[in-house]
Structure 1
Amino acid sequence: MKKNFLSSILLTLIAITLNFTFKIYLANIIEKVSLGLYFTMIDIISLFLLVFIGSRSSMVVYFNQTGDDKTILNLFRYSLFGVTIISLIFIVPFAKDFLKIDIPYIYFALLLVAQAIFTYFYNQLGIYRLYKQTNMITIFEAIFLIVLFFVFNTFISHFESLIMATIFNFLVLSIYILHQKGVNEPRLSKIQINSQTKEFINNSLIASAEFALGMMSIYIAVIFFSKYFTLSDLADFQVVVKSIYFYFLLLFVFPIFKFIFPELSKNFSEQNYDEIRNLRQWVFKYSIIVSIVSAFITILFAIYGIETLFGTQYENSSSLLLPLIFVFFFVIQNGFLSSLLKSQNGFKVTFTIRFIGIVVFLISFYILQIILSHQAVNVIYAFLIGHLITYALLLYKTKGIL
């Protein structure tokens, strides 16, 4: 597992290098406000599907306990289809108008459907513990997006090419997983509801909400920038700051959910507590080392890299990026500690803690707006406070586990 975990970091680093280079290229050929709106559109679509990405943890636990993938996937299909339809009819039009995003509805609809299909297949990688395929998706996702962009760009504008490349990227990756997973898709059938199924459904709902809350802070930050600050501030956050943060998540936090969480679940099922203790100690050391190195690199990038790579129009993003380094350690630890709790079916606990963290984030932002005046960096300070409180609560709840 650790080998796959570390391999994932290396492949993700390559993918990030490709993505970041591509983003720099886009920043120089697409107008700043338009690029900021594109990433906001992606955020809107991703927000509706976060609940299904989050349900992956309960799917992994249930499959390790029962081996019943037929029930898991049929429930997943029905719920994913229902939410997609509701989102297409009601939520996407409302969000589009609320945030005043001047992008045709058809693009939102196609993107939502494509990402929903990808989410269905991607979650299966965790159920079947397909670590190699998970790593390959990481690198293919970056490569396919770039290739598809240049293919479409021979026919349509830069901006439309970016949107279409994103849509087809999800579809191509879905086809790859379907071909590689080596397990036949179960037929659509009626769900047999028993006590274990009820527990799985309950845990799935809570896990979905918990994961959504864990990621919600970054989307709430986007809303804050959209509603309270300028479009230039929004672009600084979307193009530079959020990119760095998500690269950090991809590199050092998401591998915990992809590789360590399935092993924790398996070890708890087999009562292999020594291995769990070893993993906890290893992840703590990993968190410290990664946080220090990442902070140092981010500081250098903020001082010397932003203006050089993105141009003077993004120079103010450094004031938003520098405070973000203090959140790195807490984000890694929160990912592991929440995985530790969920491995023992502690989904309600992690949900409650994530909810408290979001509430603290919201309250902190409005308090800082009063104390420190109306400035964009307040979003980052509030973001840090929310994660700090979340870490303190998770640490308290996991002290008695091992």
Structure 2
Amino acid sequence: MGGSIINETLKTNSRYSSDSRSGFSSINHQQSLNQQKVDQVDKEMKQIEEEMYQHQQTAKKQEEIKEEVIKKYQEGNNLLQNIIQQLEEQIKSKLEKQRKVNTVMTHRDVGQVHPSVQERNSHLQKLQIKINGQKQHITSLKQKIESVVQSGVKTEMDNKLSDLLREIKQLKSQKKTLSDVNVIQLNAYSQLTGDTDYAGQIKKINQQIQQFKDQCKVLQDQRQQEDNNFRSQFERLSMAEEQRFKLREQIIQVKNTFRQSIDINSGGLQSQRGTSSDIQLPKLLRVNSQTRRINKAADQELRGAAALQNGILSIQKKYRFQKKKIEQDLENIAREMECMEIEIAKKNDENIDLQEQIKDQTKKQQQFQQQQDNQQIQ
């Protein structure tokens, strides 16, 4: 009996296990069917979305074409109205002139007297008929547009779906843009934080500034040397002027002495003739020869002083020219140094601003990435 119970128990367990296996297989089959249905629904949704997008694009193009046609017709209508208004004004002016010249006449009389007015009236009537036709055509176009718009109205769910699709597309585009910006900014940040050309440029600019300073020092030394040369030349000129003044005094003194000796000798010659004149004549000759030597020496000194003065004037002119040139060079160097300092300060400010922008963009990118991670987790 115990053996039979065990056999029944084994049969029952085997039956339950077979039932459970069949149940699991049916569940798996149902899940696969459900998955196929979901895939089919997704496929149909994609087709619907594509059809909706194409329909929206077609409707948009039709709307733009119709608006353009209406605009063209309205412009033509306005143009015709302007032409009619101008013709009416011309007719009124003609009628007013004719009224002033002739007696009072009716419109029919004026038309009979002036064929041009009658011709313009007929032209106006034709234009008015054309305008009415254009208005009717515009009205028919508006009715067609309204019918197309009413037939193309979608439900609220379709509008929501299109809005969601557009929002998803925008978010994907923003994500791609931010990723590209993040890559660019990381590269720029790595270049700025590393050993880049910026430090080399600053070093090169500092070297140029040092070269300009050295050049400025050399020019200042040249200017000092020119000042010393000018001072020595001026001292030589002063000494030459003083020497010339002394020579002039000596010449004047010699001339006065020579005149006095001539006067005395001439008086002695008139009172004492004969042997006394023979005695005074050699003295006069000696005085004259000495005077000539002194005059010759004085002339040479004066010519030397004049040549020295001319040389000093040329040196002064050259010195002024070189001084002006050196001053201009110094001013140019000072301006270039100032421009370089301004450029360095500007580059530093730009570097600081760029680093701040990189920090802000990095922070925004991290926040955006965190939001994306949170959405994926949810």
The TM-score normalised by the length of structure 2 is: 0.16
The TM-score normalised by the length of structure 1 is: 0.15
- Structure with more of its chain in helix, by fraction: 2
